[in-house]
Amino acid sequence: MGENEFTSLKGKKIVLGVTGGIAAFKAAGLASLLVKSGAEVRVVMTAAAKEFISARTFQELTGQPVSSEMFGEPSNYRVAHIALAKFAELVVIAPATANFLAKAAHGIADDLLTTMILATTAPIMVAPAMNDRMLSNAATQANLETLRRRGFEIVEPNDGRLACGTSGKGRLPEPEELAAAIDWHFERLKARKLEGKKIIVTAGGTIEPIDPVRYIGNRSSGKMGFAIAEAAHRHGAQVLLVTAPSVLSDPYGVEVIRVETALEMHDAVLKEYETCDGVIMSAAVADYRAKTIADEKIKKSDETLTIELEKNPDILFELGQKKQRQVLIGFAAETNNLESYAAAKMKQKNLDMIVANDVTVAGAGFNTDTNMVTIITRGSMAEYFSLMPKTELAELIIKRLEKIFQGRQ
């Protein structure tokens, strides 16, 4: 990609953090590309970074003083870390060493760069670069996962020959690749078409207690709903995720309500329904619950055990009956007659869109990272999609939601 193609960088205010690794020389190339693309760049270097490349290099490339000392001589900033934190529309750390990742993940602020990232409200993008064994170390991976959960954007390192003489994953991407990632960050912001919309997303499989120990449940992991909530947030929506039990961590920037039973999910969704713009019901809600819940653990006695069940409220049907301006999207997990059952469910429950999948297909059922679906939107022909990661499917669903909103304008 050529430098003139980074069209989203013009006028953007970027703080480039450079930490102490051999790949620091690539940060100079990145700074040059950013400036040539019209960005305003301020560079913050750690003490270790200056062992690999001089501050003067970045000063000449950006036309701005380079900041590095927390307690140095007075500079052009009154309080450097606060001024830089306020200046930034995006903070980019390239290269990001294992040491920096550890400090960032644990909130350690012992130099100008780590103090500045604690003070900023701007998005933060990190590009790790290190030996492949350091990268794969459990501590480094845990730190990266912590940063992801907090909303840091991670630019994955490349495979190739490393400075230590070995080959593996850990190379800092080339300046053009880094500039493209930054350009894409700002390009995505333009596409926040759900700004001002409140979206409720449900996820996971509800559980219905039988006694204090046992329950009736299903195999849903919540992965689809969590991915949808994250995608809706990225597209600018205010997102409320109502989730049944799941081991997944709360998505960054999303309000989360954790429930267990269908009745609890019903009450949580209906409480917020009137003030929302749309609901995406991806949860696997139990159709029935035990009519009587035993106060004590049921002991094994007879060869058979009979449990009387009663029907749970149909949350999706009730939302369809109460629907006014809201967009309502449902899911249909089927084992046969996929399209006909999904179309009938869409009509019966007054949905605007339904996402149907055959849970008997390998890789497309519960508790997987992938899905293969048919999407039916009101007034449109059914769309068929091959197996794809649930994260990609979530983006696709949110884009269909945006089209529905646009069609109502």
Catalytic residue from among 164, 309, 382, 388: 164
Nearest of 45, 8, 397, 326 to residue 190 by alpha carbon: 8
Would you say 106 and 163 are in contact if contact means Cβ atoms under 8 Å apart? no
Total H helices, total E strands in the chain: 13, 21
Nearest of 177, 188, 183, 199 to residue 254 by alpha carbon: 199
The CA distances from residue 191 to 111, 150, 237, 276, in Å, are 35, 22, 12, 21
The CA distances from residue 282 to 150, 218, 223, 275, 394, in Å, are 24, 14, 10, 20, 11
Would you say 63 and 32 are in contact if contact means Cβ atoms under 8 Å apart? no
Active site residue 276: no
Residue 64 is given by DSSP the state S
Max Cα separation, the chain? 84
Residues 6+ positions from 403 with CB-CB distance below 8 Å: none
CA dihedral 162, 167, 169, 170 (to 10 degrees): -10
Residue 8 is given by DSSP the state G
111: exposed, middle or buried (Cβ count in 10 Å: 0-12, 13-18, 19+): buried
| Dist CA 374 CA 356 (whole Å) | 5
405: exposed, middle or buried (Cβ count in 10 Å: 0-12, 13-18, 19+): middle
Q: Where are the alpha helices (DSSP H) in 191-261?
A: 223-234
**Which residues are known to be catalytic?**
164
